[in-house]
A = this chain, B = another copy of it.
Amino acid sequence: MSTPTPIEFWYDFGSNYSYLAVMRIEALATAHGVPVVWRPFLLGPIFKSFGWDNSPFVLQKEKGEYVWKDMVREGAKYGLPFRRPTTFPRTAVQATRVALLGSQASWGAEFSRRIMLLNFALDQDIGNDALVGAVLKDMGLPHEALMAAARADEVKVRLRDQVAHAHRIGIFGAPTCFVGTEMFWGNDRLDDAVKFAAGR
């Protein structure tokens, strides 16, 4: 039997299809014995590099209208709660920095799921730092220390590097999975990515 390759999982807290994948990946990867490397990042700077000042779901009206109908069906398909956010896309810089810290700890996946649920099931402003701190507190984590650590210059630089890395490897949307150099874009390819990682 071959050893599973880890799956690098790139996601943005404002991205609705990232929401579906963040909620699904851990169970799916565990079932296939595939380790997940969580890679929170920001899509905004990537879109800017394409000359876009917003999500393509906002810029392209026809696709944007469709996406929210699709999300209702997709939520039902995966048994996930969904409410269309009244603000879209939400930018959550502090939450992303915290997730970056969490990505090397045991609590990162659960923190990411909670932030996603706040945005896409409860329509809360995940760009609000108080809300991010409350999530950490609710998880029984040293919330004040983590919030302060996430604001350190070192973490700011790490997030910028993470985004630059995403750009360099050709990421143009989220969620995106990498298994070695093989790219899988979208929640629609999450199962394929996990199977590919398991089968190598």
| Copies of this chain held together in the complex | 2
CB–CB A70/B172 < 8 A = no
Tell me the smallest distance from the CB of A3 to a CB of chain B, in Å. Answer: 21
Cα-based distance from A60 to B52 in the complex (angstroms):
11
Given A63-B172, A63-B173, A186-B188, 7 more contacts at CB 8 Å? A60-B172, A62-B172, A66-B185, A69-B183, A70-B189, A73-B192, A188-B188
Residues of chain B lying within 8 A (CB to CB) of residue A200: none
Tell me if A140 counts as interface (CB < 8 A to partner B): no
Q: For window 134-180 of chain A, which residues contact chain B by CB distance below 8 Å? A: 170-173
Tell me if A65 counts as interface (CB < 8 A to partner B): yes
Cα-based distance from A189 to B187 in the complex (angstroms):
12
Residues of chain B lying within 8 A (CB to CB) of residue A50: 60, 62
Nearest to A171 among chain B residues (CB) is B62
10 shortest A-B CB distances, which residue pairs? A62-B172, A188-B188, A63-B172, A62-B170, A66-B185, A66-B183, A50-B60, A65-B170, A73-B192, A69-B183
Tell me the smallest distance from the CB of A70 to a CB of chain B, in Å. Answer: 7
Nearest to A64 among chain B residues (CB) is B172
CB–CB A170/B70 < 8 A = no
Residues of chain B lying within 8 A (CB to CB) of residue A171: 62
Tell me the smallest distance from the CB of A183 to a CB of chain B, in Å. Answer: 6
Residues of chain B lying within 8 A (CB to CB) of residue A173: 63
CB–CB A185/B70 < 8 A = yes
Residues of chain B lying within 8 A (CB to CB) of residue A186: 188
CB–CB B66/A172 < 8 A = yes
Q: For window 14-68 of chain A, which residues contact chain B by CB distance below 8 Å? A: 50, 60, 62-63, 65-66
- Which among B65, B170, B192 is the interface contact of A66 at CB below 8 angstroms? B170
Tell me the smallest distance from the CB of A66 to a CB of chain B, in Å. Answer: 6
CB–CB A77/B170 < 8 A = no
Nearest to A73 among chain B residues (CB) is B192
Cα-based distance from A69 to B192 in the complex (angstroms):
13
